[in-house]
Amino acid sequence: MIIKILGSGCRKCVTLAENAAAAAQAAGKQAQIVKVTDLAEIAAHGVMSTPGLVVDGKVVSTGKVLSADEIARLL
């Protein structure tokens, strides 16, 4: 599973990445966390509000920091 965090690398993006890693671990899933800071790639996903969360190529959240529990439900 590939989880992408889309954003500039701000504190919200860092927190979202930490929560995504915790959610994957709690769910017992192998996940690669990829941080995407390139604006062109972020826009290519159709994300206009960061941070964005992409799971296996599907945008599942934009503009907010989800908790580990919320992310686990999306996995």
Active-site hit among 3, 5, 6, 13: 13
| Whether 33 contacts 69, CB under 8 Å | no
Active site includes 29? no
Q: Which amino acid is at 68?
A: A
Q: Is 39 helix (H, G, I), strand (E, B) or coil?
A: helix
| Whether 7 contacts 55, CB under 8 Å | no
Using the structure block, give the residue that is written with the tokens 């964005």. Answer: 52
Active site includes 67? no
Active-site hit among 1, 2, 8, 10: 10
The catalytic site residues sit at 10, 13
